[in-house]
Chain A
Amino acid sequence: MSATDVTLLSAAAAADAVERGELSADELFEAYRAAAAGDELNAYLWVAEDAPAAPAPGAPLAGVPLAVKDLFCTEGVPSQAGSKILEGYRPPYTASVVARLAAAGAPLLGKTNQDEFAMGSSNENSAFGPVLNPWDRTRVPGGSSGGSAAAVAAGSAPWALGTDTGGSIRQPAALCGIVGLKPTYGTVSRYGMIAFASSLDQAGPLTRDVTDAALLLRHMVAQDRRDSTSIGLPGEIELPRSESLRGIRLGVPEELSRADVGIDPGVLETFNATLRLAESLGATIETCHLPHAPHALSAYYVLAPAEASSNLARYDGVRYGLRVQDGGLVGMYTKTRSQGFGREVKRRIMLGTYSLSSGYYDAYYGRAQRVRTKIADDFRTAFEKFDFVVTPTAPSVAFELGAKTADPLAMYLNDYCTVPMSLAGIPAISIPNGLSDGLPTGFQLCGPAFSENRILDAAHALEQAIGFDGSGGRIDA
């Protein structure tokens, strides 16, 4: 097999080929290592130099290498969450989920670029420069897991880990034409993930197809004694096989699927085409209502920055990363943070500090927590009648680099369709949904907590029917 042929295999197919002896794990690793080292998209911040030890005999992931978002701590390997403030940081331990995947036979291929501390929807907030979208290098890949999405779409990684706080897996997956899954909050350990907003952050797979997402997720899920919010899943993740949606009831929330809420007509066209396809696969489709969803973004931009302002208090120049001296202790804290954090991170720390400060707490933080309750209630009500709620993943296709950097609010609106599920803590997947103006769009499907297996099955059936061709994103195409 040529190196290009190797990187054309899905991760599951590559694992099978290694197991059957048609491909060696070394050959597989080297094909991807070379592709990652030659990356022209700025998707990687670090690439492994040496092949890892051979996978244990019978290891289920058979040596298929894994690209990992920079914010996962990896022992002895740079882990800076895309920030200058963690300059030179090489963690003394590895994140639980990365260690689990390595033990299952998926060694670390490289660390991927991201928006600083996962704050962003375009990857333009990285201290290491933006990632380019492999479909069109003048455009953003989405964010914050933009490096992971671009690497998988371009074929320089078979699959990748990302994190999703308000859409940071699903939105870049949509903009790069790949699959991205945010699991139910608590199914995957957050231990060793550099925190953004702890009540929302969740790790998930970015993959070329739904089967790969299921395979990777299967080996990510676990309760972890080192993350008190982790609960695992009631059963094992199954590989999806379904090709039908017979008997499945899909709810289309009016609040998240109309042109007048800011969804581009081209995106809506591909979304509606897939609804018709779902009908032909046996699904029933009805309008539903999530009356509080239009307020999700407001609640999110109170809650997430509030948690971030607290989480990021630890970057003070004392224990790791950057230190800038300036007279005394407070001077050192202040100079270190002012020079170490980028513009968007400062903005969110300011927003969070403001909404938690004396006199504003009830009006902002307290109210936002109540809105969060109403949004979760909206979904609970919808799931009494529907198996899944479906929406476009992002309101537009990938936009030009620089198009929204001057207007934070316009940038935040990218997460309009993905934030409600994050606040409710429920699982959601984005699958490639055809092209609009030659660029990928995403179809989002979400279900009740712990419905990952059913979501993967339905997404698989839709994926087969859509028959998306991802070759436009390949660097070797």
Chain B
Amino acid sequence: MIDREQVLHVARLARLELTEDEVGRMSDELSAVLGHIEKIDELDLDGVPPTTHVVEVSNALRPDEVQPSLPREVALASAPAVAGGGFLVPSPQADADPS
């Protein structure tokens, strides 16, 4: 079960703002999905190592050579706002609740 308070907490962590309707729906839907997921509690997984990636290669190295990268103006071309050769963002100090 994931209740209203948890939904609001997780939404804040994810930088999402939910309408009152969305909070209720999210609580129901996530609870249903988590209910299904919790079936893995039945399994005995003691001593089983976790899999983080499936490729059986480790420490693959390549020569560290400088390669061309995107020119600055190309990298900035898609940005909503730029200034002084960088991305322009609103001031964090203008946030009512900067958490």
Could you give, for residues 2-23 of chain B, a 1 whenever the CB lies within 8 Å of some chain A CB and a 0 otherwise? 1000110011011111100010
A319 touches B95 (CB 8 A): no
Residues of B within 8 A of A357 (CB): 10, 13
On whether the beta carbons of B75 and A374 are closer than 8 Å, the reply is no
**Which A residues are in CB contact (< 8 Å) with B38?**
298
Which residues on B sit within 8 Å (CB–CB) of A372? 50-51
A268 to B54, CA, bound (A): 31
Interface size on A (CB < 8 Å)? Answer: 68
Q: How large is the interface on B (under 10, 10 to 19, 20 to 34, 35 or more residues)?
A: 35 or more
The chain B residues found within 8 Å of chain A, CB to CB, are 2, 6-7, 10-11, 13-18, 22, 26, 29-30, 32-34, 36-41, 43, 45, 48-55, 57, 60, 62, 70, 74-75, 77-81, 87, 89-99
- Whole-angstrom distance between the alpha carbons of A408 and B35 in the complex? 12
Which residues does A use to contact B, with CB under 8 Å?
88-93, 185-186, 199, 225, 228-229, 231, 292, 295, 297-299, 301-302, 309, 316-323, 325, 327-335, 337-338, 341, 346-347, 349-351, 353-354, 357, 364, 366-374, 376, 408-409, 412, 423-425, 449
- Nearest chain-A residue to B35 (Cβ)? A409
Residues of B with C-beta under 8 A to A376:
51, 54
A102 to B38 alpha-carbon distance, docked (Å): 45
Q: Roughly how many angstroms separate A199 CA and B95 CA in the complex, as a whole number?
A: 35
Q: How far is the CB of B48 from chain A (nearest CB, A)?
A: 4
CB pair A298 B53 closer than 8 Å: no
Shortest beta-carbon distance from B53 to chain A in Å? 5
B15 in contact with A333 (CB, 8 Å): yes
Contact (Cβ within 8 A) B40 A334: no
Q: Which residues of B contact A368 (CB under 8 A)?
A: 37, 40
State the CA gap A98–B19 with chains docked (Å): 40
Which residues of chain B have C-beta atoms less than 8 A from A92's C-beta? Answer: 70, 74-75, 77-78
Residue of A88, A367, A423, A424 near B40 (CB, 8 A) is A367
Residues on B with C-beta less than 8 A from A425 are: 54-55
Q: Is the CB of B43 within 8 A of A295?
A: yes
A228 vs B78: C-alpha distance in the bound complex, in angstroms? 26
Identify 21 residue pairs between A and B in the complex whose beta-carbon atoms are under 8 Å apart, listed by A's number.
A89-B78, A90-B78, A186-B54, A297-B36, A298-B36, A298-B38, A298-B40, A309-B14, A327-B95, A328-B96, A331-B90, A331-B96, A334-B15, A337-B16, A346-B22, A350-B11, A350-B14, A350-B30, A354-B34, A367-B45, A374-B48
Complex Cα–Cα for A419 and B60 (A): 27
Residue of A nearest to B55 (CB): A186
Cβ of A364: which chain B residues have Cβ within 8 Å of it? 37
CB neighbours of B2 from chain A (8 A): 354
Q: Tell me the complex Cα distance, A330–B93, Å.
A: 10
Partner of B36, one of A89, A320, A409: A409
Closest Cβ of chain B: how far from A125's Cβ, in Å? 14
Residues of chain B contacted by A371 (CB below 8 angstroms)? 40, 43, 45
Task: Point out the residues of chain B lying under 8 angstroms from A320, CB to CB.
Answer: 78-80
A327 contacts B96, C-beta separation under 8 Å: yes
Which residue of the partner chain, among B49, B75, B95, contacts A370 with CB atoms under 8 Å? B49
**Assembled-state Cα–Cα distance A376/B49 (Å):** 12
